[in-house]
């Protein structure tokens, strides 16, 4: 099985020179760790990207290309895809446009969280993702499973302390995560979803899977999204499970010829 993961970033994002290679290598290892030998995950990089993904408008400009890449991956024979980050950028549009199953890391993590506890909270890395993810919770219909007061919160990480954590130098990153997680727990959370594409490898390295002495599990979104995509592909093969193509379904595939014509018109494809 081949899954495509367009990460929504370009390797040469401004001011973060080393990020691309680090991300690429670390994430490859992590996806192999999570998915095992039977599933191949290709990480897709954008040629150019916006430097501010928290903006709805700038994110949309980006998503147009991310989804275009998913359509190309579909044509190249991939079996399924997940969309970039924990805020599920372009998820509903991608799921509509493609015929292969598309999972959202955030959506998958929330669905799993709803089977592991009573109420979840999601931590994120930038303030701008807060309203995006809060709206996702509502779109997915899961308000009753998230804490009511500020279910999405930014925690005080920096890119630098994250890298130190990833390299095993110190755990300030985890300390910052725990601090905000404990505030969520005081407000009723019994499951915490960790929003950040690179977090998985750091958590595995430090064996960080629960908030100490609380019993509250920490859910990493990428692993959830990939496993969810695998499940959808597997059920498609065995029992023909597919997205709804009802005319009122949000994921009804547009006619392929129209889709391709428009992509051509707008310089995509």
Using an 8 Å Cβ cutoff, are 2 and 79 in contact?
yes
Q: Please say which residue, 109 or 176, places its beta carbon nearer to a second copy.
A: 109
In angstroms, the CA 185 to CA 200 distance is 21
Beta bridge partners of 220: 194
Taking residues 175 to 214 in sequence order and writing x for each that binds a second copy by CB under 8 A, - otherwise, the string is: ----------x-xx-xx--------x--xx--x-xx---x
One residue of 85, 90, 195, 196 binding a second copy per CB under 8 A: 90
Stretch in the footprint of a second copy (CB under 8 A) among 77-85, 157-165, 171-179, 243-251: 243-251
Interacting residues with a second copy between 124 and 143 (CB under 8 A): 127-128, 130-132, 134-135, 138-143
Give the one residue of 158, 175, 244, 256 binding a second copy; rule: CB under 8 A: 244
Q: If binding is defined by CB under 8 A, does position 79 make contact with a second copy?
A: no
In the bound state with a second copy, the residue whose beta carbon lies nearer, of 42 and 134, is: 134
Q: Identify any residues that bridge with 238 across adjacent strands, giving them in sequence order.
A: none
- E strand or H helix at 195, and its extent? none
Q: Residues near 219 by Cβ (< 8 Å), separated by ≥ 6?
A: 109, 112, 113, 116, 120, 191, 192, 193, 194
How many residues touch a second copy under the rule CB under 8 A: the total is: 103
> Is residue 220 near a second copy by the rule CB under 8 A?
yes
Contact 21, 60 (CB under 8 A): no
């Amino acid at each position: 099985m081949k899954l495509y993961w367009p990460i929504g970033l370009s390797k040469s994002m401004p001011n973060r020179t080393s990020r691309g290679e680090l991300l690429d290598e670390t994430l490859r290892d992590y996806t192999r760790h999570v998915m095992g030998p039977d599933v191949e995950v290709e990480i897709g990089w954008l040629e150019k990207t916006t430097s501010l993904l928290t903006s709805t408008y700038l994110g949309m400009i980006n998503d147009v290309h991310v989804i275009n890449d998913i359509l190309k991956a579909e044509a190249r024979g991939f079996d399924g895809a997940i969309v970039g980050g924990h805020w599920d950028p372009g998820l509903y549009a991608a799921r509509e446009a493609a015929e292969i199953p598309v999972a959202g890391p955030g959506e998958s993590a929330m669905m799993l969280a709803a089977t592991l506890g009573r109420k979840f909270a999601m931590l994120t890395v930038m303030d701008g993702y807060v309203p995006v993810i809060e709206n996702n919770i509502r779109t997915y219909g899961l308000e009753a499973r998230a804490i009511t007061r500020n279910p999405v919160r930014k925690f005080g990480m920096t890119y630098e302390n994250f890298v130190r954590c990833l390299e095993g130098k110190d755990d300030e990153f985890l300390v910052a995560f725990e601090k905000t997680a404990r505030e969520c727990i005081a407000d009723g959370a019994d499951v915490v979803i960790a929003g950040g594409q690179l977090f998985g490898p750091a958590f595995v390295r430090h064996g960080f899977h629960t908030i100490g002495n609380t019993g509250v599990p920490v859910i990493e979104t990428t692993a959830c999204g990939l496993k969810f995509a695998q499940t959808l592909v597997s059920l498609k093969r065995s029992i023909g499970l597919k997205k709804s193509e009802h005319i009122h379904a949000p994921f009804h595939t547009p006619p392929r010829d129209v889709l391709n014509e428009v992509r051509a018109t707008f310089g995509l494809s």
